[in-house]
Amino acid sequence: MKINKEHNLFQLSIGSEILLEHTPEQPMLYVGHGKESLEMYRGNFKIEDYLEERQPLDLIEVKQEGKIYTLTFNQAITLTITIDNTSIVLNFGGDLDQFNRFWFRLRADAEEKCYGGGEQMSYFNLRGRHFPIWTSEPGVGRDKKSHITWQADVTGMAGGDYYNSNFPQPSFISTKRYYVHVNSTAYSDLDFRNEDFHEVHVWQIPSSIRIEFANDYPTLLERLTAYLGRQPLIPSWIHDGLILGLQGGSDRVLPIMQRVLDLGVPIAAIWCQDWSGRRVTSFGKRIHWDWIANDAMYPDLKKLVKRLNDQGIRFMNYLNPYLVKDGKLYQEAKDLGYFATKHDGSEYLVDFGEFDCGVIDFTNPKAHQWFKEIIQKYTIDLGISGWMADFGEYLPVDDIKLHSGNSAMIEHNHWPTLWAKCNFDAVSERDKWDEIFYFMRAGGSGVQGYCPMLWAGDQSVDFSLHDGIATVITGALSAGMSGFGISHSDIGGYTSLFENIRTKELYLRWVEMSAFSPLMRTHEGNRPDTNFQFYDDEESILATARMVKIYRDLKPYIRQLIEDNSTKGLPVQRPLFLHYDHDAHTYDLQYQYLLGADMIVAPVYLSQHYRVDLYLPEDEWVHLWSGTEMTPGHMSCQAPMGYPAVFYRKSSAFASLFAKIGKNYGGVAP
Amino acid sequence: MKINKEHNLFQLSIGSEILLEHTPEQPMLYVGHGKESLEMYRGNFKIEDYLEERQPLDLIEVKQEGKIYTLTFNQAITLTITIDNTSIVLNFGGDLDQFNRFWFRLRADAEEKCYGGGEQMSYFNLRGRHFPIWTSEPGVGRDKKSHITWQADVTGMAGGDYYNSNFPQPSFISTKRYYVHVNSTAYSDLDFRNEDFHEVHVWQIPSSIRIEFANDYPTLLERLTAYLGRQPLIPSWIHDGLILGLQGGSDRVLPIMQRVLDLGVPIAAIWCQDWSGRRVTSFGKRIHWDWIANDAMYPDLKKLVKRLNDQGIRFMNYLNPYLVKDGKLYQEAKDLGYFATKHDGSEYLVDFGEFDCGVIDFTNPKAHQWFKEIIQKYTIDLGISGWMADFGEYLPVDDIKLHSGNSAMIEHNHWPTLWAKCNFDAVSERDKWDEIFYFMRAGGSGVQGYCPMLWAGDQSVDFSLHDGIATVITGALSAGMSGFGISHSDIGGYTSLFENIRTKELYLRWVEMSAFSPLMRTHEGNRPDTNFQFYDDEESILATARMVKIYRDLKPYIRQLIEDNSTKGLPVQRPLFLHYDHDAHTYDLQYQYLLGADMIVAPVYLSQHYRVDLYLPEDEWVHLWSGTEMTPGHMSCQAPMGYPAVFYRKSSAFASLFAKIGKNYGGVAP
């Protein structure tokens, strides 16, 4: 690192390139005032900002003391830059609250690419676009040019756009081999639209901004996750089979499970999201948000769990941090004062889609404690092995009073992490990490250390690029570049609206992709009755059985990847450039990935496609299904149903395992 | 007016209310820098601004010399405020080009309403919204929630929004009885979203801002039009009948005209837009943009015009300021160097929808002269009595070089006025204002003095609030508040896309509304063959005959209104508050209007509606169709087909004329 400074100039270079620069002509920092307006409807936000003032800060003086530089700006704002061999930490001082808008620029060049921003579903390389950071529903369709997005927008503000995410995060990694993380949960925006700089916009002056460097991406991710946290290790039973998503009560669930078992599908767990009861809305079949087992639907659940466990099958359920007004727990929480309220102290209810709920106030340590005990008492103590820890994105910002006294504008993006922590404490206190895991869709900075597994949220049941199966790949890769390296998805997708219906083709493509991911879990979707269900179709059950067996056979390999993620922050699914950083072609691939270092997977993400275009970097790659040794480069690979394009490295320590899988389940040329 | 000033404070009050105020806490002026990006597709613009800097100006010193106050701000910017009894003129001095963004605030209060902004089609009262000022296609549907807008956006960026207008203008009048006009043709934005101030945003520091006051609205409009200009008086033959829009060449046009005549429709003129030839595109039947009569379609047009004139029927045609590349005039203009070019001097073509055209460079006096002579030679000298002077909104801004050296960002909004001036000079030089008139859809500041008549542009052929028949009323009222007081529309609407087809009901409602407007003109629309044409339906021809006769009978009254508009800037169609300013109810009416001072018209603007809700202010109103004397107030009035809700003032000097019309054509109770 090289520093160049004068009284009104500061430049920090890495090698020959300037990264931080403040000159009178090229200011590094801007501050100002804005008046935001936010409208929320069922987790979808319409956000507008009226920018009243934005001015560059003028550098008045630079002082140095060893590796610490203190920059004094006008407006009585100071910036302390602390430098060591691999990091730069920027801390702001002075009367920071006098401004509510902040911009920070890093010098960039045209060829540079950036990744991360949390879990981004539409675009992996962030350059050329901006990404508002505000956790929300991801939106239906997520493409303003699509008819489904238009319909969702018109009927419920729910269409979304390319940047909407359950798990956005103000951090990114650059191909200049650094990461930036902004220490703020305020609304922010990562702006990569400019050729010669990146701009980070935050609706407060952040307490700090952290930059770290490394010579290679694995080390860079190790540093990022050392800072943000790493995922608790998920139990090993998940590799033993499918997590079968079923609803409708024991009477419906058990016979279907038996049919699926009988046709040879290894089952690790059944996951019954309606364990606490069912609620039918116009959106589809939903759940009674009162986190106690429903005896009518699942009589004597504890016994059922025990019986299943004896068969080697786990039972999983569903939780989220809201309580429905007509449930039993609502009254208890209300009496205890554990809900967020209006500023006048009166009841604050949020509409979740034809039913209203209270919001547990996790900024109140007692509320956190109480909800953790609810999880322990009504879920863990029944012998349940895990759950979907849903939602976390709905903290409203208008007229809501939190126990901490913090503004909801600051706590909104923080909420998913608070929710994760509640689950984390529930499991940790019971010392059950060998047995229990949960998975979340919502996230934000710090969720990394409190959540063992992500799932990719509510895809539409289709092949659309912005909301279908393809987004699962992009989402996993970008989450990995944001310190969250383990993810999976609802096999078959979730959201079926406006005549958009899951097909058998979609299901089969999804299940074959999921075999090459850390976890396999099916979901019946929001409208089970009108969408394709694999358990209704013998051919699909058999195809599922085959893919789950492949997944199970991969256990030794996948297990190592999951451990590497938990110990080193090395994602299970990785962009190719992570290990082939000298190959420029690898930086633009968002629909194929490295599964660990030794396997390349290029799933079929478009309908009626039976070949996949892909790229193999320079190495000795072997086609999984035929054992063919490949010539690296761009190619088109055959991919009939059941045979996604998968390759392994000939020199892998697991090569014989892969070869055996290829022999047992293969027979298709590349 | 009262002034309060200190070294860093300036307040100008009207009566007890502050209008202009600069204090350190409430700055009046902001300046800054932005980087715009504009994309144009067939006259529709996608405009984004990256606002890099915005800072309030600090007032350093206020000097007074008589009625002139000089305010010195930081950044070496001065503001000279010249005050007389009824006006305030703000002039800016200093190095104005150092900034490309500018904001100016006027104090406001919550109850205040504002009108104008040029011709606004969706909203008459501008409060609560902002209105970008950039002349463009108005957009199809103009409502992001409508399916037609979504389709138009997706297929061609053409959907538009509530503020899109062919004729936007940075001026407005306030219910505090002042007008503001910004002297700049740069991109600007009138922002009425704030309760306690209005904000005018301009992409340059404007040369001046003008504010004038009056005690009443008619006087205020008189002052506004004394400044902006007033419309040349249209010839009186237009009142003698319908201007019948027909296409397809003499062989088709003349027989249809004869049928319409035979069934009793008074015809003032036929208007043949395809006089220069036809061009069929996927949008519909369009025109060969080469402004010479097409002999194949209209053989010996001069003789035809003469023959028609002898029958008392005028002939009208169509012109616009572009020349199609495959036409005869294109080569001539190109050889003369009269087109705008790229910066390197090479050919600049604009796509107008499947055909490319050159843009006559009106900043070149010789090009202006040449095009004026084209109009004279090929149109006026054929004996033609008028034309649609179409377009003017398409000046592109990327890589375009103008003769004046001015930036296209400055000339874009100026273009409609330059185009109007060319027509104006062509007619004035021939001294033909008694005989000739033309009508435009595009406009901007200054067009008022150079164009005799507006038309409301390309409505969709439907009853939609944002793009159908209703917008004609709002458009006429807002244009009137912007100094343009005479407008009409395509009877039946124009744009038929995506299965949206003109119905007989729509045509009949439109023709009955137009009888109570300054001019009646039909249009076959963009897809004549698939849309309803009144001349195909005897019942509709007869209904048209009846309405045209009513229009013709109103001539003495309407004529006076048109003269009042040309001499005093008093619009022909007026909002009710213009004459009933003490009645608070009159300020929120955008679908009914005063036709002059003596008639109130409330057209049916919704489908399948046979009653209209309306408001009659305190006065003696008589229902036109029945002679019933009305009780003022809110009411619902019967409006069967052919009988829009119309009332006249009992004390009108024209009361006997109105009564006679009511007797001759009436017979329906209110």
SS3 B217: helix
Question: Considering only CB atoms, which chain A residues are within 8 Å of B193?
Answer: 50
Q: 2.60.40, 1.10.3300, 1.10.357, 1.10.3470: which CATH number matches B2-213?
A: 2.60.40
Inspect the interface and report whether the beta carbons of A52 and B54 lie closer than 8 Å. yes
pLDDT of residue B284: 82
Question: Do B375 and B369 touch, CB atoms closer than 8 A?
Answer: no
Distance CA A520, CA A501 (A): 21
Closest CA to B398 of B20, B36, B33, B25: B36
DSSP B344-396: TS-B--EESSSSEEEEB-TTSHHHHHHHHHHHHHHTGGGT--EEEE-------
State the Cα–Cα distance between residues A93 and A79, nearest whole angstrom.
Answer: 6
Do the chains contact at B32 and A52, CB–CB below 8 Å? no
Q: For residue B288, what pLDDT is reported?
A: 95
pLDDT of residue A400: 95
- Put simply, the answer to whether A30 touches B51 (Cβ < 8 Å) is no
Look at A55 and B54 and tell me if their CB atoms are within 8 Å: yes
B39 touches chain A (CB under 8 A): no
Interface test with B, best of A150, A151, A157, A498 (most B CBs within 10 A): A150
Cβ separation B32–A54 shorter than 8 A: yes
* B25 in reach of chain A (CB within 8 A): no
- Quick one: CA torsion of B361, B367, B372, B376, rounded to 10 degrees? -130
The CATH class of A574-665 is mainly beta
User: Which residues does chain B have within 8 Å of residue A193's beta carbon, measured at their own beta carbons?
Assistant: 50
Return the pLDDT at A343. 95
Residue B229 sits at the vertex; the CA angle it makes with B228 and B230, to the nearest 5 degrees, is 135
CB contact under 8 A, A55 and B50: no
- Residue A345 CA from chain centroid, whole number: 34
Q: Is A196 on the interface with B (CB under 8 A)?
A: no
Coil/strand/helix, residue B194: coil
B30 touches chain A (CB under 8 A): yes
B646 CB-near residues (< 8 Å, 6+ apart): B516, B599, B600, B601, B602, B623, B624, B625
Mean pLDDT, range A310-338, rounded to an integer: 97
Tell me the sheet residues that pair with B180: B172, B211
From chain A, the residues in CB contact with B55 under 8 A are 53-55
Name residue, tokens 């699509």: A146
Residue of B222, B390, B467, B581 marked active site: B390
Q: What does B24-84 look like in DSSP terms, one character per residue?
A: SSS-SEEEEEEEEEEEEETTEEEEEEEEEEEEEPPEEEEEEETTEEEEEESTTEEEEEEE-
Asked if B98 is an interface residue toward chain A (Cβ–Cβ < 8 A), one would say no
Q: What residues have CB less than 8 Å from B201, skipping those under 6 apart?
A: B101, B102, B103, B188, B189, B190, B191
Look at residue A353 in the predicted model and tell me its pLDDT: 87
A51·B51 Cβ contact <8 A: yes
Tens of pLDDT, residue by residue over A131-140, are 999 999 999 9
CA distance B284 to B248: 13
> Closest Cα of chain B to A138: distance in Å?
20
Q: Does A568 touch chain B (CB under 8 A)?
A: no
> What residues contact A25, with CB distance under 8 A and at least 6 apart?
none
Report which residue type is found at A348.
Answer: Y
Taking the C-alpha atoms of residue A30 and residue A26, their distance in angstroms, rounded to an integer, is 11
Interface predicted TM-score (ipTM) of this complex, two decimals:
0.86
Q: What is the mean pLDDT of residues A68-78?
A: 95
Q: Within an 8 Å CB–CB cutoff, is residue A498 touching chain B?
A: no
For each successive 10 residues of chain B (670 residues), what is the average pLDDT?
89 93 96 95 94 96 95 95 96 96 97 98 98 97 94 93 98 98 98 97 97 97 98 98 97 98 98 95 88 97 98 98 96 97 95 93 98 98 98 94 96 98 98 98 98 98 98 98 98 96 98 98 96 98 98 98 98 98 97 98 98 98 98 97 98 98 95
Q: Which residue has the tokens 């007026």?
A: B574
| Helix, strand, or coil (residue A376) | helix
Task: Please give the residue of chain A at the shortest CA–CA distance from B150.
Answer: A150
Q: Which chain A residue lies closest to B147 (C-alpha atoms)?
A: A150
Interchain pair A53, B55: CB under 8 A: yes
Cβ of A32 within 8 Å of Cβ of B54? The answer is: yes
- Residue A50 and residue B193: Cβ atoms within 8 Å? yes
pLDDT tens-digit readout, B203-251: 999 999 999 999 999 999 999 999 999 999 999 999 999 999 999 999 9
**What is the tens place of the pLDDT at every residue in A291-309?**
999 999 999 999 999 999 9
How many residues in chain A? 670
Structure confidence at residue B642 (pLDDT): 97
CB contact, 8 Å: A54 with chain B?
yes
Taking only the tens place, the pLDDT of each residue in A276-290 is: 999 888 888 889 999
Beta bridge partners of B269: B243, B314
Instruction: Inform me whether the C-beta atom of residue B504 falls under 8 Å from chain A C-beta atoms.
Output: no
Nearest CA in chain A to B105: A52
Q: What are phi and psi of A274, to 5 degrees?
A: -95, 25
Closest CA–CA distance from residue B507 to any residue of chain A (Å): 29
The predicted pLDDT at position A285 comes to: 80
Which H or E run contains A335?
helix A328-336
- CA separation, residue B341 to residues A491, B45, B345, B399, B404 (Å): 57, 20, 5, 8, 12
CB A103 within 8 A of CB A438: no
How confident is the model at residue B353, as a pLDDT? 87
Task: Report the candidate in B104, B110, B150, B151 with the shortest Cα–Cα distance to residue B127.
Answer: B110
Q: Is A56 on the interface with B (CB under 8 A)?
A: yes
pLDDT band at A1 (very low <50, low <70, confident <90, very high): confident
Whether chain A has a CB inside 8 Å of the CB on B109: the answer is no
Searching chain A, which residue's CA lies closest to the CA of residue B145? A154
From the list B53, B154, B193, the residue facing A56 with the nearest CB is B53
Residues of A that are catalytic: 390, 393, 458
Q: Which of A208, A169, A196 is nearest to A82 (CA)?
A: A208
Does A376 contact B at CB distance below 8 Å? no
Q: Taking a C-beta distance cutoff of 8 angstroms, is the pair A20, A213 a contact?
A: no
Residue A545, pLDDT > 90, answer: yes
Which among A51, A145, A154 has CB closest to B54?
A51
The answer to whether the A2-213 and A574-665 domains have the same CATH topology is: yes
pLDDT band of residue A482 (cuts 50, 70, 90) is: very high
Active site residue B390: yes
Q: What is the chain A residue with the closest CA to B35?
A: A194
Q: In chain A, what residues touch B52 (CB-CB under 8 Å)? A: 30, 54
What is the mean pLDDT of the segment spanning A553-565?
A: 98
Q: What average pLDDT is seen over chain A?
A: 97
Residue extents of the structural domains in chain A = 2-213, 574-665
Interface contact A54-B52, CB threshold 8 A: yes
B398 touches chain A (CB under 8 A): no
Whether chain B has a CB inside 8 Å of the CB on A50: the answer is: yes
Mean of pLDDT values over A65-90: 95
Nearest to A154 among B54, B145, B194 (CB): B145
CA nearest neighbour of A245 among A489, A550, A443: A489
Measured CA to CA, the distance from residue A573 to residue B420 in angstroms comes to 63
- Residue for token digits 């009793």? B264
* The residue to which tokens 């943000």 are assigned: A228
Do B51 and A54 make contact, defined as CB atoms within 8 angstroms?
Answer: yes
Closest approach of B53 to chain A, Cα-based (Å): 5
Residue B339's beta-bridge partner residues? B360
